[in-house]
Amino acid sequence: MKKNMAIINVSKNLGSCVNPIEIFYFWSIIHTAHCVLNKKYSNGKLQNCVKAIEIFCHMRYNINIIKWIVCVKEGVFMNNFNENNGYNNDNVTEGRPRENNGEKLTANNAFHNGGRFFGGDNALSVENSDNLHKSYTMVGLGLCVFFALMFISQLIMSFATMLFSPLLLEEGWVLLYLTDIPIYGVALWAFLFFISKVKAQKIEKKPFGIMNSISVFFIACFFMMTGAVIGNIIDMVLQGILGLELEDSLNATANTMSLPIQVLFFVIIAPFGEEFVFRKLILDRIAPYGEGAAILYSGLTFALFHGNFNQLFYAFAVGILLAYIYVKTGSYLRCVLLHGIVNAIFGVIAPLLFELCGDNTILQTVVSLGEWALCFIGIVVFIVFLACRKVKIEKSQYSLAKSALSCAFSNPTFIIYAVILGLTVLSNYFSAIA
């Protein structure tokens, strides 16, 4: 019914066409569209009919209307048709209506609508933008539900464990159980449900090269060190302002774990799980609409998910790097490997070496210098990458009526997710005050 109304609305404009050829032209378009909507033409006959219209009318400016017919056949762009709409982009010259047979096209002419022209390209732009909005909405909604279910599950399981035996909460393996079961046993399945509503477009796998792989490792080390410093400074400033003395929650958790549990938690489970959610599942659905927005979205949601200032900044920087690697290589395992190596060095090996050094300041200095050496090499490599313009961000594969960046970060679901996780970060300080 809506499609037939669109044809009727177009036909109402016939009275404003003063040229007999234009009248026949519109009649031909309406007739062709009617046949398409009622499936009276095969694709081959449709193309022949469109070609006949072009030849008979001796016009080339009807090409966008012909594109529209194809859009009608696909059932898109119906909402943008009304009795004042025009359909010919080729009648625009430098943003102004062009004269047609000595007469300017006005708002009463079927081709013109107050300076706005519509055609098949516009139809596809609107449809692609709708798909873009849906993709970011479902991803954001999935993340909100993911975090909510994780949080609720952790509360229930922690309460049950405390009732059974409060001392178990101090055991490293129990903390692993209380952290990962709610995430991957409960919340992940809800996230998969929401994100399955968006069609995944698997990113093509491309070679990355050994030198590039080594380079991004050093860049990741640079991001880790500088991000950790920034996060720790902000954390200390907030604690100073509020008069608090809080222990780093990540270090406190790691100290309760044995070495095998740390390796399992930081080097295996976290990289595989987090890269699956924040790189593969998310980027397969939003990267085709613009790599830049998708990379920033992946990095920021990944950083907020950690829920504290100490990890926020380096998780954001490394998350962006991992997202960039994924969109350029299409390799989930490559991201898992880099994530695991970085976690192993800064989350397991470095703390272990500091512990083995004991009170020996010389050995502690050597370990610190080793970390900063990796950081310095990463700075140099990062500058070279930027100077050589090796960082290339592809734009959207589709014509869009709205930028992907705006759609991603103005989306209500992202705003809700950011507010909830932001409050979670700040709750670490407010709960200590209370």
Query: Cα–Cα distances in Å, from 41 out to 24, 37, 47, 70?
Result: 20, 9, 9, 12
Q: Give dist(CA 390, CA 416) in Å, integer.
A: 35
Q: Give dist(CA 171, CA 256) in Å, integer.
A: 6
pTM of the complete model: 0.73
Q: What is the pLDDT of residue 374?
A: 95
Q: What is the pLDDT of residue 401?
A: 80
Q: How many CB atoms lie within 10 A of CB 189?
A: 11
Burial of 105 (0-12, 13-18, 19+ CB in 10 A): buried
434 residues of the chain, pLDDT tens digit each? 444 444 444 444 444 444 455 555 555 666 665 565 555 545 455 555 555 555 544 444 444 454 444 454 444 433 343 434 443 444 433 333 344 444 433 333 333 334 343 444 555 677 888 889 999 999 999 999 999 999 999 999 988 888 887 777 777 778 888 888 999 999 999 999 999 999 898 888 888 889 999 999 999 999 999 999 999 999 889 888 888 787 777 777 788 888 999 999 999 999 999 999 999 999 999 999 999 999 999 999 999 999 888 899 999 999 999 999 999 999 999 999 999 999 999 999 999 999 888 888 898 999 999 999 999 999 999 999 888 877 888 888 888 888 899 999 999 999 999 999 999 988 888 776 75
Query: Cα–Cα distances in Å, from 233 out to 157, 239, 256, 421, 425?
Result: 33, 10, 25, 20, 15
- Cα-Cα-Cα-Cα torsion 144, 149, 154, 159, nearest 10 degrees, comes to 130
Q: Give dist(CA 133, CA 139) in Å, integer.
A: 10
Give the residue extent of every domain in the chain: 2-118, 129-433
Q: Which of 415, 428, 220 is nearest to 310 (CA)?
A: 428
Contacts of 337 (CB under 8 A, 6+ apart): 271
Q: How many CB atoms lie within 10 A of CB 424?
A: 16
Residue 394: how many CA atoms within 13 Å on its side-chain side?
13
Q: What is the pLDDT of residue 332?
A: 95
Q: Give dist(CA 86, CA 100) in Å, integer.
A: 14
Q: Give dist(CA 225, CA 300) in Å, integer.
A: 18
